[in-house]
Structure 1
Amino acid sequence: FKNSELKGTENRKQDYFVLNRFCHEYLSKKEIQYTLNKGDMPVIQVSDGSLWTEKRVIKNQNDKINFEADTQNDILKIVYINRYRNGKPQIAFIKGVGLKEGAFGSSISHDSHNILAIGCTDEDLMECINEIIRLKGGLVVKNERGLFSLPLPVAGIMSDQTADKVIRNYKELNQELSKSGVTLSSPFMTLAFMSLIVIPELKIGEQGLFDYSQFSFIREKENWNL
């Protein structure tokens, strides 16, 4: 929309009203590296078709430097990034997705529509997230076959393409995820609600993991007190 078409607009010097905002710079792999300390680790347990999650506790026998994932036990890294400012990524782990290789992410995430991504390696996560940033919004899959995307240029949550094209594109992404081992019937829908911290039991948000039962963020990984 042109500013001249918006009633009550004070600043008419700009040519267009901004409908999208992506301020985060491209991510480096180092920014999502994670050292897993010995002891208990809370993990988000998802269930297919449900927005509710469970809090699982994984026992770690040793410190693990730059821990990425444990695909044999279906423990994957999940990354949350505020797209409106160039802040620090929040990192946690999730179980129940089934992904065996690659990564997938989205800029549709309730309620603020920040970036969420799940992956098996930091390299794949980085490529997936950076493609979302490059597109200024979208759904992205990264696997051994390449990089697949559904751009969402309108506010990072809507497409400017026809419904038929969007449907075909969306189905292609889900097919690629299925080939990569994902067992969820609607993986992008499940992902979109992993940052809605007011739904039990464990989610990820602006300050990391959020424990609904305590209604607070789990701030220090060394003092989870599980």
Structure 2
Amino acid sequence: MSEPLPPPADAPARPLLPDRLVSGYEAFLGGRYAREYDRFQHLARAGQNPRIMLIGCCDSRVSPEVIFDAGPGEIFVVRNVANLVPPYAPNDGLHGTSAALEYAVLGLRVEHIVLLGHASCGGVRAYAESDLDPYQRPLSSGDFIGKWMSLIAAAAAKVGPASEPLADYVERLALASIVQGLANLRSFPAVATLEQRGKLSLHGAYFSIAEGRLLALDEASGRFLPVSAKAHATAFAEPRF
């Protein structure tokens, strides 16, 4: 493999980082880092010991640490496109999500795994559009994104053909994908064994960006139920903020 070419000698100097990140880092130093200095020192010495692993979407609008008001070291977060979980497949492929899952379960010994989906997911919508519209450019199985999004196929097969407007179907498919993701989690032998022994609990959740509403899956009924409905109603009461 050839060495990368250096930039031209007369190329304008580029900042080391985007300005927004630099200003945010400076605010962090003068704010949270200063306030929680002892906590960061403890984490540096003792390492991380989160009890919860959360698998979420890359979508920049859905930050688990923000939604759950989590501090450093509290949640082991893995994010990918459309918060998908592949089934157990011990082969020579490069399995980022599976590797993180293995580390969280066997290395960190987390006690909970939360699979967090969200409303208006672009990845789920792209899959639905390519699947439903014969004139839509299909997601190519040769592309990284197309191959990754094929993980939704199992959930789509269970949901069946769309019988409602596309937006409503996308939300239904997103919820079904969470259910399928939990099934895929249980295909990992270590996850299944630890859950059966009561050492590990699996959870499905769904966040509405516009409404700030959080739903959680009740696997006994198969329904997604509101979490902290009273606190949500209070937050949105008039005057709201």
Of Structure 1 and Structure 2, the greater helix share is in 2
Bigger Rg, which one? 2
Of Structure 1 and Structure 2, the greater strand share is in 1
Q: Considering Cα pairs closer than 8 Å and 6+ residues apart, tell me whether 1 or 2 has the greater RCO.
A: 1
What is the TM-score with the length of structure 1 in the denominator? 0.27
